[in-house]
């Protein structure tokens, strides 16, 4: 009783974590927006209507960054969960994301040769809202289920036998799995870009003079819901508790009756499913997919996970958005070809000055 | 019968054999040099006899051997990092690139400088090592696997930088017209593969002796101690960070060394020679050959490179010529990285010590299984006692 009495006033004064996070995110977006506007305005002050134009393009870019960030965040969650629970950098995760993008494509159009009856053979947008929603949900479910199962299979075959091997061994198999996924996909679909039918009608919503595509809103809302869902799962359910326990101390968790193999498999299932969802987003947002897009996306998502404090779910999500902000900013100031290098510099700087990540110490939860 | 076979050569033969063993044990560095000289003589002879001479002419073979030699150098260098110190470097080609570009700046019309080749070998190694230290110093303080991702990123970024900074690197075209090596008495021309072949054999021998002596030294033992148990090594007074950094920097410098030779041989450096696929190839060579074993790694690199360049390409031509229905449509070169991926996974699962293992590494990699077997044996014993 005494402890409660002494701690409750402090707790009452602070807002709940989610609220603080939302406020912080909002402030971050506003600051970023101001930065973008300033950068664009200053770069061509003399042009007529310069201020309005810079507001317009900046709005567009913020929307772009939020969608990109949502995709990176979903991939980063897979990295961070796996690292949190078995301390393995799952190099194959970026490629799981890439395969997810292709599964989405195969479902909407047609799968390769012997299985091509499995696809919906779509070519363009779907005007009927009910059908559209059903198809979208189905595409998500197919990609998420499939990639979840693929990721579990990878864990079972390539990582589990090496759980007690020297640390370098599972890292090498991870890079091997990454090469396998990438090259199998290359053999199936070839090296070029594959066009994805953008099934959501090209309707725009006007915000601050900019035209935001509906698909952007859909992606952002669905991604945020998935992240909240994951938080609830990890913090409120029995399996989520088992995951957190395993992340803290495998042996102790096992002694408390946690099924280690099941918990780790579950982590890979969820990570793969999120990557699958991100893959479908990727296809729908950019309109094309490639066999090698997993490499860069994986590197960025991993940087996001490190930035947020690896092992930390909220951190990974915020890191994903932060990386996207950095990338879009480098595009906004006309240095798109350096964006990859800038992201890498971010990774090095974080490792030098704050290796535990931005949220590494403040939040104890890990999964 | 078998007793007789063992006695071939009589007591004299046995004595000579044991004498040779004594000499090779006492002068191991010399043995490496002699062995490399023998290899250097045997390879051209092999290339002129039937099964090999069918594929391509001697000059093409020699040129291929020189290129393979570059990969042997790279594999020997990566072996210091992955095999001896147990660190994973996934961007090794970046240091290769840095060495090559260092030579391009030091000896080409592009920069207007023509520094001597020998000096550039050392400078290239030094520049690459400097970048290795710059990259390794912040990363190696952290847990080992951060190095893997940082080097992966570095390997991706370096070609991008060389590509984008076109004011200083000529971008996609690369820097051309690089001077061939200038050594006294030997003239290096693109048309004559022999001098390059001899030079690469000499470089491989030097690096092998160097790595061998390192491995058997105090530093080498320190690396292996860190690889096997970092905590135990640290509590025995090893400064693990500087020791790991040394391994990383020496690995990088070997890649820089190889880069200088490669640039001087091709007379052209361009970003697409150093993509991350090169890093993965070298890693596959080291893992297949046997991490930690100098001869295993060198052999692995040589065999894989030769298979990749000669056999996979020839297989296509071979099946196309015979009009084999399905096989002629398969592009075997395309499967190369799929095969590497499979090799990495399967080797780690079933034969982590590689095809030509070093004894110590083998024991270490199987220690988990041994420990498990031991503990189950103890459990069985306990049960039988109670």
Contacts A–B by Cβ distance under 8 A: 128
Residue in A89, A162, A355 nearest the CB of B149: A89
B331 touches chain A (CB under 8 A): no
B229 touches chain A (CB under 8 A): no
Which of A75, A179, A340 to mutate: most B Cβ within 10 Å?
A179
Q: What is the pLDDT along chain A (367 residues), one digit of tens a residue?
A: 334 444 444 445 677 777 888 888 888 888 888 888 888 777 777 777 777 778 888 888 888 899 999 999 999 999 999 998 888 889 899 999 999 999 999 988 877 766 766 777 777 777 788 888 888 899 999 999 999 999 999 999 999 998 888 878 888 899 999 999 999 998 888 888 888 888 888 788 877 777 888 888 989 999 999 999 999 999 999 999 999 999 888 889 999 999 999 999 999 999 999 999 999 999 989 988 988 888 889 989 998 998 888 888 888 999 999 999 999 988 888 778 888 888 888 888 887 787 777 776 544 444 3
Indicate yes or no: CB of B334 within 8 angstroms of CB of A187: yes
Which of A159, A171, A294, A354 to mutate: most B Cβ within 10 Å?
A171
A348-351 long-range contacts (CB < 8 A, ≥24 apart) are A348/B135, A348/B138, A348/B139, A348/B150, A350/A303, A350/A306, A350/A307, A351/A306, A351/B138, A351/B139, A351/B142, A351/B146, A351/B150
What is the distance between the alpha carbons of residues B85 and B67, in angstroms, rounded to a whole number? Answer: 27
A323 touches chain B (CB under 8 A): no
Q: Quick one: which of A93, A122, A95 has its CA closest to A106?
A: A122
Both tokens of residue B257? 């060394």
User: Does B9 have pLDDT greater than 60?
Assistant: no
Indicate yes or no: CB of A183 within 8 angstroms of CB of B368: no
Strands A288-289 vs A194-195: parallel, antiparallel or unpaired? antiparallel
Cβ-contact A100, A273 below 8 angstroms: no
Both tokens of residue B59? 């000059």
| Chain B contact set for A166 (CB, 8 A) | 86, 227-228, 364-365, 368
- H/E segment holding residue A288: strand A288-289
Q: How confident is the model at residue B379, as a pLDDT?
A: 60
Q: How confident is the model at residue B195, as a pLDDT?
A: 87
What is the distance between the alpha carbons of residues A366 and A43, in angstroms, rounded to a whole number? Answer: 43
**pTM for this model (two decimals):** 0.84
Q: What ipTM does the predicted assembly reach?
A: 0.83
Residue in B139, B280, B342 nearest the CB of A351: B139
Q: How confident is the model at residue A6, as a pLDDT?
A: 44
| Chain A contact set for B349 (CB, 8 A) | 158, 161-162, 173
Indicate yes or no: CB of A168 within 8 angstroms of CB of B283: no
Indicate yes or no: CB of B90 within 8 angstroms of CB of A295: no
Q: What is the DSSP string of A190-219?
A: -SS-EE----S---EEEETTEEEEHHHHHH
What is the distance between the alpha carbons of residues B63 and B193, in angstroms, rounded to a whole number? Answer: 6
| Chain A contact set for B157 (CB, 8 A) | 340-341, 344
A249 DSSP 8-state letter:
-
């Amino acid at each position: 009783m005494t402890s409660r009495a002494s701690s409750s006033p402090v707790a009452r004064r602070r807002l709940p974590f989610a609220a603080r996070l939302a406020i912080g995110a909002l402030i971050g977006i506003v600051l970023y927006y101001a930065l973008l506007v300033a950068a664009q305005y200053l770069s061509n002050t003399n042009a007529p209507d310069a201020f309005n134009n810079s507001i317009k393009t900046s709005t567009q870019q913020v929307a772009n960054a939020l969608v990109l960030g949502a995709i990176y965040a979903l991939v980063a969650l897979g990295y961070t969960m796996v690292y949190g629970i078995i301390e393995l950098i799952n190099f194959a995760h970026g490629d799981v994301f890439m395969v997810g993008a292709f599964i989405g494509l195969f479902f909407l159009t047609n799968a390769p040769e012997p299985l091509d009856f499995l696809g919906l053979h779509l070519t363009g947008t779907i005007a009927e809202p009910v059908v559209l929603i059903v198809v979208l949900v189905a595409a998500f479910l197919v990609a998420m289920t499939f990639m979840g199962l693929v990721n579990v299979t990878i864990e079972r075959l390539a990582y589990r036998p090496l759980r007690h091997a020297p640390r370098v061994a599972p890292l090498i198999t991870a890079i091997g799995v990454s090469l396998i996924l990438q090259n199998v996909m290359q053999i199936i679909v070839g090296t070029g870009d594959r066009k994805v039918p953008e099934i959501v009608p090209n309707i725009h919503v006007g915000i601050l003079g900019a035209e935001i595509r509906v698909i952007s809103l859909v992606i952002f809302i669905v991604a945020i819901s998935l992240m909240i869902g994951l938080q609830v799962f990890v913090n409120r359910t029995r399996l989520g508790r088992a995951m957190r326990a395993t992340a803290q101390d495998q042996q102790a968790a096992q002694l408390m009756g946690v099924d280690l193999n099941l918990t780790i498999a579950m982590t890979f299932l969820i990570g793969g499913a999120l990557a699958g969802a991100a893959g479908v987003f990727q296809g729908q947002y950019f309109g094309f997919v490639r066999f090698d897009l997993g490499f860069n996306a994986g590197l960025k998502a991993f940087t996001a996970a490190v930035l947020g404090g690896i092992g930390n779910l909220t951190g990974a999500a915020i890191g994903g958005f932060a990386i996207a902000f950095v990338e879009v900013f480098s595009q906004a100031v006309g240095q798109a070809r350096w964006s990859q290098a800038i992201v890498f510099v971010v990774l090095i700087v974080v490792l030098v000055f704050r290796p535990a990540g931005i949220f590494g110490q403040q939040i104890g939860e890990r999964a | 019968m078998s007793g007789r076979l063992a006695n071939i050569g009589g007591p004299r033969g046995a004595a000579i054999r044991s004498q040779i063993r004594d000499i090779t044990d006492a002068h191991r560095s010399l043995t490496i040099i002699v062995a490399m000289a023998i290899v250097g003589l045997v390879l051209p002879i092999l290339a002129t006899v039937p099964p090999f001479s069918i594929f391509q002419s001697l000059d093409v073979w020699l040129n291929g051997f020189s290129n393979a030699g570059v990969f042997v150098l790279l594999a020997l260098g990566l072996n210091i990092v992955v095999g001896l110190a147990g660190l994973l470097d996934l961007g090794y080609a970046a240091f290769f690139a840095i060495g090559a570009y260092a030579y391009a700046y030091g000896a080409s019309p592009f920069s207007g400088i023509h520094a001597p080749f020998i000096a550039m070998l050392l400078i290239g190694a030094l520049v690459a090592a400097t970048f290795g230290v710059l990259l390794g110093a912040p990363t190696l303080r952290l847990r080992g696997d951060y190095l893997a991702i940082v080097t992966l990123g570095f390997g991706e970024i370096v070609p991008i930088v060389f590509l984008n900074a076109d004011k200083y690197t000529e971008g996609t075209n690369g820097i051309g017209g690089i001077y061939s090596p200038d050594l006294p008495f030997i003239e290096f021309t693109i048309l004559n593969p022999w001098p390059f072949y001899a030079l690469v054999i000499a470089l491989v021998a030097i690096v092998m002796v160097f790595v061998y002596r390192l491995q058997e030294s105090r530093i080498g033992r320190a690396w292996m101690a860190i690889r096997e148990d970092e905590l135990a090594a640290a509590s025995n007074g090893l400064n693990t960070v500087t020791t790991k950094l040394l391994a990383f920097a020496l690995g990088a410098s070997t890649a820089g060394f190889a880069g200088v030779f490669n640039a001087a041989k091709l007379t052209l450096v361009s970003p697409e020679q150093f993509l991350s696929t090169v890093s993965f190839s070298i890693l596959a060579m080291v893992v297949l050959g046997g991490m930690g074993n100098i001869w295993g790694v060198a052999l692995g690199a040589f065999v894989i490179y030769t298979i990749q360049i000669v056999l996979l390409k020839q297989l296509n031509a071979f099946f196309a010529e015979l009009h084999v229905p399905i096989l002629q449509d398969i592009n075997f070169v395309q499967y190369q990285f799929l095969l590497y991926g499979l090799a990495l996974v399967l080797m780690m699962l079933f034969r982590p010590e590689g095809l030509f293992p070093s004894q110590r590494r083998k024991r270490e990699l199987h220690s988990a299984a041994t420990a498990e077997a031991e503990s189950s044996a103890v459990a069985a014993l306990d049960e039988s006692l109670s």
